[in-house]
Each structure stands twice: as structure tokens, then as C-alpha cells.
Structure 1
């Protein structure tokens, strides 16, 4: 049986040279002279984005939310969710990310060793002896090796217009 760690190591070898995406963390700055300062997103590394997984040089994480950096501007919003999204985009921009750059927030590190021992970590588990991934919360599990193969091909040669 191929170990999960070996599958991810093989994926890293195949991903070398392909573009990575930024990972960040939302930080609420300390008050300065009693005044609240605007939150910002701090860079926490880079990883290859393969669907529900983020694969870094020495880690694997489950994706969270992807936000594009956008300079803050006064806008009218039809919904509170739009206002919250714009505030998050502005926090990414304040963190020093160029406008338009996608940044992953709310990601969760996976415990590959726990999965190898028969447990589950994020969307990765061993199902009937096969390393597997759940690509959607409502979906079933798919073999991890096949999932990684498909996602690496898509990252290396994205469909036109993607």
C-alpha cells in the first residue's frame, strides 16, 4: 500500500515549478493610544492549491476561504455579506498583497500521521484501506492518488478561460 506521506511527496515532486498561491492569517492589531486599528492579513507562506488541499513544501492543509486582495473604497452594498467580503479583501490588501492576488484564509493543517494510523484529518482519510479525500462536504470519498493526479494535470494545463 502506498503511504499517504509518499503520495504527497510524489505530488510535490510533480508540482515543482508550477505556480503557488499565498496563504494568510487575519490579524487584529493591538490598539494604539486607545484607538482600534483596522485588521490586516499577514502572509503565512505559499502552497500549491489542489482543490480542497493546499500542499506546501513540508505540510498539507485543508483549504478555507479564498479572498482576492482589493484596495478599500467606499461602496454601496445590497447585502451585509458583500460589505463583510469587501472588508476582508481590504484587510488582505492592507497586509501587503498586490491587488487581485488570491490569498487563502482559514486553512487548517492536516495531520498526515493520524490519517496513516487510520484516523481522519480534514478531508483526508483511509477508506477500506485506500487513502481517500472528500472533495466536498456532501460528497463521498474518492481515491487520493487519482484526485492528486487530476488536480496536478489541471494546475499544469488549465482549461482555456479558467
Structure 2
């Protein structure tokens, strides 16, 4: 099955389902020479399907995911926690609602690159069949089957998964 047809079929099954917003980290210009705090501003919306984000007219590789929240002083045991908290605060400053899921660091899947037989993000075409690498360790699956599974999980989440 052709890549465009696979994505269109998934979009049809997802019609009416809630999309999550994708944001971009921006560093505002200085105001009177004073640096302002970075913000994550909304850019797009897409359905989150594991390692992929399916938009209305594009496909993206998932990046980092945070929940927006107002910044408060906290003590952290790890620098990574401090960085994630800063990103959550930047999303809140950028206009995302408290607790809203925000995708950052996402990258578009380049269909021209795929047509040349190369991988774009976690997607590649092998012998005419689109495949997705769903694990950093190299786990790979047929894209159509992967999307079918992820769409069903989104439509019918496991109890307690929301």
C-alpha cells in the first residue's frame, strides 16, 4: 500500500478524535537590553501515534513531550528534572493551558527522501513497503500495521491509561 493511502486511512479513522498541539521553543528578543524568558509557542496540531505525529497534511517524528505548567520554585535532585520543568514553564508562558500535553523537538518526515530510498526520522520504505522504527534499539514494523495498532489504542485506551 502506498504511504499516502496509509496515512489517509489513518486520518479517516481518527476524524473527530482530539489532537495534541506541537510547539516550538523561541527565545524572545531582548526588551531594553534585558533578556526575556524563552517560550514554547503553538505551531501545529497532530494525533500522537507512538513515535509519529500525524497531522492533517503531514507526518512528523515525535520529539520531547512535556505538560505545560506554571513555574514555581522547586528543589530537584537531577539537572534533567530542572530542564524539563523549565520547558513546562516555557510552554505555559507560550499560551498552553495548565496540564496540556505539548510536543517539542518534533521533525517533519520528508517524503522526497523516502522516495529516494532513504530513511526520514523513524520511517523508511523497504521494497516498496513503508516501515517504521518504533524502538531506538532497532525494532521495526510495517507502517500500516503500526498505525492500525496505535489508532486503536488512541480510540480505545486501556483502563487507567488516560
**Superposed displacement of residue 103, structure 1:** 0.4
Runs of at least 4 residues off by over 6 Å: none
User: Structure 2 CA distance, aligned partners of 1:128 and 1:92?
Assistant: 41
Who is 2:18 aligned against?
A: 19
Structure 1 residue 105 displacement after superposition: 0.1
SS at match of 2:71: coil
Q: Which residue of 1 aligns with 2:146?
A: 147
Separation in structure 1 between the aligned mates of residue 61 and residue 25 of structure 2, nearest angstrom: 17
CA distance in 2, matches of 1:115, 1:3: 12
Q: CA deviation at 1:51?
A: 0.3
Residue 48 of structure 2 corresponds to 49
Q: Provide the residue aligned with 2:132 in structure 1.
A: 133
Q: How far 1:127 moved relative to its partner?
A: 2.2
Equivalents in 1 of 2:121, 2:6: separation in Å? 17
Deviation of 1:81 after TM superposition, in Å, equals 1.5
Distance in 1, matches of 2:113 and 2:8, equals 17
CA deviation after TM superposition for structure 1 residue 156, in Å: 0.2
Answer yes or no: is the 8 Å Cα contact 1:123–1:134 preserved in 2.
Answer: yes
- List alignment gaps of at least 5 residues for structure 2: none
**Superposition deviation, residue 40 in structure 1:** 0.4
The CA deviation at 1:117 is 3.6
- C-alpha RMSD over aligned residues: 1.0
The match for 1:100 is: 99
TM-score by length of 2: 0.95
Which residues in structure 2 correspond to 1:59-74 (within 5 Å)?
A: 59-74=58-73
Name the CA distance, whole Å, in 2 between partners of 1:29 and 1:135. Answer: 35
TM-score by length of 1: 0.95
User: Mean alpha-carbon deviation: is it higher for 128-137 or for 140-149?
Assistant: 128-137
Conservation of the 8 A alpha-carbon contact between 2:40 and 2:90: yes
Is the 1:3–1:116 contact (alpha carbons within 8 Å) kept by the matching residues of 2? no
Question: What is the SS of the residue equivalent to 2:7?
Answer: helix
Q: Any gaps of 5 or more consecutive residues in structure 1?
A: none
